[in-house]
């Protein structure tokens, strides 16, 4: 082959070289032009379809994150099809190319199992939307406000302003508690008083505290009951409903007010107690 090429490059073979070039253009020129046309028009069509998807999803008021992710997937998928069609037009065996691409994809997939798991979990989070940006959630052992949802990770901000980046695979494999989906929440308090305290007086004090707080909702009705006769105290269960935004304010204020009011009434809140009995044995 090298010898034939060398012969063609000799000064006397210029006509032969020109003839071969013409034959090449006649044989492959239309195919190359067709492949270029397929790629150019295919790329234009892919961009147009991407814009159409964005326009339709924006019209349907879909979350911008979902819109961007979906439009990108549509564009990439169409471009892969366009490239394969252009290569096939030139005469390249796309089946072999797909086999090589599949083998490479398998190798990459095995090397990036964790990242692919995070990607898949992020895709499911975007589709099923168990929470959105701004929600307060508890998942993967952490609690915080959702600040950013990405394909591989989700960023939370804690109450003390720490930033926690959680891999999406952990969120997908764990229970998710969303504190922001409901408009109201129940505040649960346990108030322990001594056994010699007046039960009726204690209940009246707790009821007055609840009734005096305007943040406590009337419906559902607050519940104040003797819930447990514990080892060292009689435990009252106080259950009140509030707006979700008022939860911690009511929780902290109620604890402080209960302590002050019980002290004023002389009702003790006992420490854990244990009775010790000593017996003297007569020595023999």
- CATH value at residue 69: 1.10.287.1260
Q: What span, in angstroms and rounded, lies between the C-alpha atoms of 36 and 89?
A: 9
Which residue range is the domain that position 236 belongs to? Answer: 184-264
Is 34 domain-assigned?
A: yes
Shared domain for 67 and 90, answered yes or no, is: yes
| Nearest residue to 135 (alpha-carbon basis) of 217, 59, 118, 125 | 125
Mutual angle of helices 64-90 and 113-128, in 10-degree steps: 120
Query: Contact 72/54 with Cβ under 8 angstroms?
Result: no
Shared domain for 21 and 106, answered yes or no, is: yes
Q: Which CATH number characterizes residue 163's domain?
A: 2.30.30.60
Is 32 domain-assigned?
A: yes
Shared domain for 154 and 195, answered yes or no, is: no
Is 116 domain-assigned?
A: no
The predicted pLDDT at position 67 comes to: 67
Q: pLDDT digit of tens for each residue in the chain (284 aa)?
A: 444 545 544 555 555 556 666 666 666 667 778 778 888 888 898 889 888 888 887 887 766 666 666 777 788 778 888 888 777 777 666 666 666 666 656 555 555 556 677 777 877 887 778 888 889 999 988 999 998 887 788 899 998 999 999 998 888 888 899 998 899 999 999 999 999 999 999 999 999 999 999 999 999 999 999 999 998 899 999 999 999 999 999 999 999 999 999 999 999 988 876 778 787 776 65
Q: What span, in angstroms and rounded, lies between the C-alpha atoms of 194 and 271?
A: 9
Using CA atoms, how far residue 20 sits from 6, 32, 154, in Å, is 14, 17, 61
Shared domain for 35 and 87, answered yes or no, is: yes
Q: What span, in angstroms and rounded, lies between the C-alpha atoms of 171 and 126?
A: 12
Is 58 domain-assigned?
A: yes
Shared domain for 189 and 251, answered yes or no, is: yes
Please name every residue paired with 73 in a beta bridge, in sequence order, or none if there are none: none
Using CA atoms, how far residue 54 sits from 42, 58, 67, 70, 156, in Å, is 18, 6, 6, 8, 28
Rounded-to-5 percentages of helix, strand, coil across the chain: 55, 20, 25
The predicted pLDDT at position 248 comes to: 92
Q: Which CATH number characterizes residue 242's domain?
A: 3.30.70.100
Shared domain for 97 and 170, answered yes or no, is: no
The predicted pLDDT at position 1 comes to: 47
Shared domain for 141 and 197, answered yes or no, is: no
Number of folded domains that form the chain? 3
Q: What span, in angstroms and rounded, lies between the C-alpha atoms of 63 and 126?
A: 9
CA torsion sign, 53 to 56 to 58 to 64? Answer: negative
The pTM assigned to this predicted structure is 0.58
Is 117 domain-assigned?
A: no
């Amino acid at each position: 082959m090298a010898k034939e090429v060398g012969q063609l490059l000799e000064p006397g073979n210029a006509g032969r070289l020109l003839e071969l070039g013409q034959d090449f253009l006649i044989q492959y020129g239309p195919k190359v032009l067709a492949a270029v046309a397929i790629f150019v028009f295919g790329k234009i069509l892919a961009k147009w379809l991407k814009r159409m998807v964005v326009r339709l999803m924006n019209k349907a008021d879909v979350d911008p994150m979902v819109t961007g992710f979906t439009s990108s997937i549509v564009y990439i998928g169409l471009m892969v099809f366009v490239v394969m069609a252009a290569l096939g037009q030139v005469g390249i065996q796309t089946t072999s190319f797909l086999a090589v691409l599949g083998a490479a994809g398998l190798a990459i997939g095995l090397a990036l199992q964790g990242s692919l798991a995070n990607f898949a979990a992020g895709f499911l989070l975007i589709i099923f939307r168990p929470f959105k940006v701004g929600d307060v959630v508890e998942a993967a052992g952490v609690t915080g406000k959702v600040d950013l949802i990405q394909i591989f990770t989700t960023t939370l901000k804690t109450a003390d302003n720490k930033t926690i980046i959680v891999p999406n695979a952990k969120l997908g494999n764990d229970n998710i508690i969303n504190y922001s989906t409901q408009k109201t929440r129940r505040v649960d308090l346990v108030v322990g008083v001594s056994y010699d305290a007046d039960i009726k007086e204690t209940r009246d004090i707790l009821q007055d505290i609840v009734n005096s707080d305007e943040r406590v909702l009337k419906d559902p009705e607050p519940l104040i009951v003797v819930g447990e006769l514990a080892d060292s105290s009689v435990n009252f269960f106080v259950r009140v409903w509030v707006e979700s935004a008022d939860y911690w304010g009511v929780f902290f204020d109620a604890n402080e007010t209960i302590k002050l009011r019980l002290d004023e009434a002389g009702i003790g809140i006992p420490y854990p107690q244990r009775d010790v009995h000593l017996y003297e044995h007569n020595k023999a």
